[in-house]
Amino acid sequence: MDWIFLALVVFLFILAVSDLWVGVSNDAVNFLNSAIGSKAAGLRTVITIAAVGVFCGAVMSNGMMDVARHGIFRPEQFSFNELMFIFLAVMVTDIILLDTFNTLGMPTSTTVSMVFELLGATFAFSIFKLGGDLSGEGLSHYMNTEKALSVIMAIFVSVAIAFVTGSFVQYIARLIFSFRYSKGLKWKIGLFGGLAATAILYFMLFKSIKSMSFMTEGMKDWLSAHTLAILGCSFAFFTVLMQVLHFCKINVFKVIVLMGTFSLATAFAGNDLVNFIGVPLTGLSAYQDFTANAAGASPEEFLMGSLNEPASTNPLFLGAAGLIMVIALYSSKKAQNVTKTEINLAKQDEGEEMFGSSKVARSLVRMANITANAIVSATPRKVRGWIDRRFDKTDMEIEDGAAYDLVRASVNLVTASLLIALGTSLKLPLSTTYVTFMVAMGTSLADRAWSRESAVFRITGVLSVIGGWFLTAGIAFASSFIIGLIMHFGGVPACIVIVLGGLAALVHSNIKSKKSLQESEGDRMFKEIINGKGDSQSWRIFGNYVAFNQSNLLRSLAKDYENVTDGLICENVKLLRKVNSTIRDEKSAIKNIRRKETVCLRRIRPEVLLGGGTWFHSSANELEEIYYSVRRICEPVYEHIDNNFSPLPARYVSEFVPLRSRLVDLMENLADICQKGNFERMRDCTDSLKELQKSLSDSRKALLEDIQKEETNMTVCYLYLDLLLESEQMVLILLQFTRSARKFQLG
């Protein structure tokens, strides 16, 4: 039977490789975002610096390997067989859970996921032990239940402290440097650089270096005893160094950002490596102990008290893990997807918003506005004027295509490093993910990046991410618990099926998401315009971008209109329910497109724009009116069919279907014209639209005559009248659209 458990250990290491991949894809956001968001260096340079930090941290890691061995459960109470099942349940759950969050682009805590997966799987096996335990011992005899409480408390502590601290520090930093930070740096940049570099060093001393494998107890004691002296000398040295770099025309802010990126990457690999390989290495240790000391005992009887001993990790495993993480860092598209979420929520300007509006967010914004107005009114006018000048974004110094400037990026990294180091020194259970994310959100709020137009979307996004953190704990516990139960009853065959199923699900997810994460033609054009020079070339690309969006929207609206009318004619309530939901979801998509187009329009110089902007807004408004017409058709039709009211009479159906088909064909034709750029052909559609408008008008007049007759069903007649009116209105709007779109594109 030994070969079966050897195979399970091999499975654990296969799962560990997958877990390293998906784990780095999610946790990369912790150390990449500030450098990428501020464009402190090229993407490849940033990733290379982070990769070196990750590899160094992994190779020298000792981390928290004991957490996976005996930090959550009491191994002396479990047999070798039970622990192998627990470890498999944890690893399968972890790779699927983290991959799901990566696909959604949501950052989460790998520490929380591992802790609650261990709790869930251990609980599944503990309940059976409690049932047969006559000693009266409770659950704490098998599990360290207090660990779960400390992790839950870490969520609240990390979120609140990081957000408030990030807001405060960024507000002070902006008052000192303003948005035109290169002015007046003669002396204060040295002090700021020295303070920032010292904070990063302090972080590395307490969060990275002290946990490395080469650190002896004597070295740790010496560091603790001489911390203040080290920090004082470091501050003096770095202050002079940064001042010299400034005099040598080197951007000190970029140096700070890249230093912070390296330090956070090193700390991540050095301490969070346990989240990915701690469980498989513990499984290997358990297997080695079982084969060496079992002496004929069965796997169900051999208890694993040996796991209470301190962990000792082979450097080869650490090096291999570091190499896998570096490869994942360079190649994972999902890491970029998660990074995009945080950058989008923290960016300085308006544009594409990934999240919609929520009632809670609207309430929070309303209360914040009331509070802010009260504070502003109580502030002396001269003070208000001085503060507003410091926050004046005119001629803001920001790299091309950056989400925010280097000042905020520096504050993000320095503040997060200090909080994590302080929490570690005080033995507070702070989460790296929670701290870095909430500091970034706090600095963006203090930097007035959340305007009245974007605040509700940003807050909804932040609340969604925080909600995902709580879901991580709940889903991790429940999923691991269920898988643990299946393994308990199904034994080794169930383990093999679940492991293979988990790997298959991971492969399928990556194949599917690879297609969805590919940059669309619209995204490519949007980036070209944002990063362009606002010249005639940008104006040409903008015209193509608008035509691309209009083509897609026309096709989508034509399909919605066709589905709504099909649902009415065929009395298909399922189709109507689906299209009703689709139409409501399209509202936010249309607004998002309009917002992105407006941002692009702002990047076009006035002399290039000329009068085209008017026709752009006109054509955009007309397409939005068509959307509302389709929505006004859908709502009463869905209510009519959902209530099982009388169907549309056959003579009305035979009269309307040809009109409907002509309208859909014309919308598809206009979409094709936009896609191919043949805007002169729009003139050819004018006559067809006018003929269709007359036909709809004639049908409407005939229906009004029918309504006067007593034998008609008034409910059906009024529904059909509404359908004809809105269809005719759509035709009239399309007539206006053909003119506006042609004028915008051709001048």
Look at 22-31, 209-218, 478-487, 608-617 and tell me which has the smallest mean pLDDT: 209-218
* Amino acid 561: pLDDT: 95
Q: Each residue of 266-279: pLDDT tens digit?
A: 777 766 666 678 78
pLDDT, residue 555, reads 93
Residue 573's pLDDT band, with cuts at 50, 70 and 90, is very high
Distance, CA of 223 to CA of 206 (rounded, Å) = 9
461-507 tens-digit pLDDT: 888 888 888 888 889 899 999 998 988 888 888 888 887 887 787 67
516: exposed, middle or buried (Cβ count in 10 Å: 0-12, 13-18, 19+): exposed
Q: What's the pLDDT at 552?
A: 92
Q: Please give the Cα distance from 517 to 331 (Å, whole number).
A: 13
Q: Which residues pair with 212 in a beta bridge?
A: 61
Whole-number pLDDT of residue 427: 58
**Per-residue pLDDT tens over the stretch 430-448:** 677 888 888 999 999 898 8
Closest by CA position to 510, among listed 518, 500, 519, 499: 518
Report the range of poorest mean pLDDT among 361-375, 409-423, 513-527: 513-527
Instruction: With a cut of 90, say whether residue 376 has pLDDT above it.
Output: no
Closest by alpha carbon to 402, among 254, 202, 518, 234?
A: 254
The more confident residue out of 305 and 141 is 305
Residues 6 or more apart whose Cβ sits within 8 Å of residue 527:
401
Confidence of residue 626 (pLDDT cuts 50, 70, 90): very high
Give the tens place of pLDDT for each residue, 650-701: 889 999 999 999 999 999 999 999 888 888 888 888 889 999 999 999 998 8
Q: What is the pLDDT of residue 628?
A: 94
Q: Tell me, what's the pLDDT at 132?
A: 63
- CA distances, 680 to each of 507, 547, 604, 687, 689 (Å): 48, 14, 24, 14, 16
Confidence check: pLDDT of 224 > 80: no
pLDDT digits over 32-70, tens only?
Answer: 888 888 888 888 888 888 888 888 877 766 555 556 666
Cα 170 from Cα 410, distance rounded (Å): 10
Rounded to an integer, the average pLDDT of 702-718 is 81
Mean local confidence (pLDDT), 70-82: 79
Does 634 or 473 have the greater pLDDT score?
A: 634
Average pLDDT in the 324-350 region? 77
- AA identity, residue 605: R
- The confidence band for 601, taking pLDDT boundaries of 50, 70 and 90, is confident
Instruction: Say what the pLDDT of residue 731 is.
Output: 94
Segment 108-152, tens digit of pLDDT: 877 788 888 888 888 888 888 776 664 556 677 777 767 667 766
Tokens 């520096």 locate to 410
**Inter-helix orientation angle 110-132/455-516, to 10°:** 80
Tell me the pTM: 0.77
- 316 pLDDT above the threshold of 90: no
Predicted pLDDT of residue 424: 64
pLDDT, position 709: 72
Which range of 25-29, 106-110, 506-510, 566-570 scores highest in mean pLDDT? It is 566-570
Q: What is the pLDDT of residue 513?
A: 55
For residues 724-737, average pLDDT: 93
Judge whether residue 532 has pLDDT over 80: no
In whole angstroms, what is the distance from residue 563 CA to residue 586 CA?
A: 15
Cross-strand pairs, 61: 212
DSSP-derived letter for residue 298 is -
Q: Which pLDDT belongs to residue 663?
A: 94
The mean per-residue pLDDT over the stretch 302-315 comes to 75
Highest averaged pLDDT of the listed ranges 53-67, 215-229, 277-291: 277-291
Percent of the chain with pLDDT over 70: 86
Q: How distant, in Å, are the alpha carbons of 224, 260, 417, 519 from that of 198?
A: 16, 11, 10, 40
Regarding predicted confidence, which is higher, 621 or 355? 621
Q: Which long-range contacts (CB under 8 A, 24 or more apart) does 471-476 make?
A: 472/97, 472/101, 472/108, 472/109, 472/112, 472/113, 472/116, 473/112, 473/113, 473/116, 473/151, 473/152, 473/155, 474/116, 475/97, 476/93, 476/94, 476/97, 476/112, 476/113, 476/114, 476/116, 476/117, 476/120
Residue of 639, 747, 734, 637 whose CA lies nearest to 689: 734
The pLDDT assigned to 268 comes to: 73
Cβ–Cβ < 8 Å for 337, 106? no
Q: What type of residue sits at position 740?
A: S
The mean pLDDT value of the chain amounts to: 82
Mean pLDDT is lowest, of 250-259, 394-403, 689-698, for: 394-403
Tokens representing 500 are 């293979």
Mean pLDDT lowest for which of 16-20, 214-218, 539-543? 214-218
Full set of structural domains in the chain with CATH: 2-515 (no CATH), 523-746 (1.20.58.220)
Q: φ, ψ for residue 79 (rounded to 5)?
A: -85, 165
- Pick from 117-121, 226-230, 647-651: least confident: 226-230
